[in-house]
Amino acid sequence: MAELKENVNENIFLGESDTDEIEHIPDVITTTSMAINEFLKKTKIQDVINWGRKNSLWFMTQPMGCCGVEMIATGCAHYDTDRFGIIPRNSPRHADVMIISGYVTIKYLPALKKLWEQMPSPKWIICMGDCSISGGPFYESYSTVQNIDKIFPVDVYIPGCPPRPEALLQGFIELQKKIMAKEDHGTDY
């Protein structure tokens, strides 16, 4: 435990103030260190963990534009996303994937950042539609934020205006391939 405590300050997922005290639960070993995770990343166990992660990509229902309608259609029974383990969730605290599904305005960007910070790690971002990739038809607007990839670590881009639900499903499958190949931005390898 002493060795683990030394790595506390390197933990990026906790605030600086509450790193000093570790909560003591009877019969449970608690740690605030990432040392175990860092060790597991170098072993074959990470492949098993990634297999579990890629088959439970729960996405946050956060429709932002007309692509949100396609997102809702994807979540309905016809496409049966549950066979890939993809389930829509209503809270960012339950979700693994955030789909940026529309133009991001200057006023909406702080709210989007707050949603992203509320999601537990590991987490991934899918850019859906032309608007979120480059501004789309609104690229010259006074209020559109462009180049969202400089603000969020985007893993998959799905072009289209709007993309078909099949395209969104393919985006999820590409994300699953990236997770298995350990090339995603959600985990720091």
Residues that bind another protein (CB under 8 A): 106-107, 133-135, 139-147, 149
Residue 149 or 174: the one with the smaller Cβ distance to another protein is 149
Which residue in the block uniquely carries the two structure tokens 């499903």?
A: 169
* Pick 30 or 147: Cβ nearer another protein: 147
Q: How far is the CB of 165 from another protein (least distance, A)?
A: 25
| Chain centre to alpha carbon of residue 188 | 13
Measured CA distances, 10 to 6, 13, 179 (Å) = 9, 9, 24
Smallest gap from Cβ 183 to another protein, in A, equals 19
Beta carbon of residue 25, minimum distance to another protein (angstroms, whole number): 45
Nearer to another protein, 13 or 142 (CB): 142
Q: Between residues 101 and 146, which has the closer beta carbon with respect to another protein?
A: 146
Shortest CB 145 distance to another protein, Å: 7
Is the peptide bond between 165 and the residue preceding it cis, with omega within 30 degrees of 0? Answer: no
**By C-beta, is 142 or 189 nearer to another protein?**
142
**CA nearest 92: which of 115, 72, 126?**
115
Cβ 57 vs Cβ 97: under 8 Å: yes
Residues with Cβ within 8 Å of 67's Cβ and at least 6 positions away in sequence, in order, are 101, 102, 128, 129, 131, 132, 162, 163
Shortest distance in whole angstroms from residue 143 CB to another protein: 7
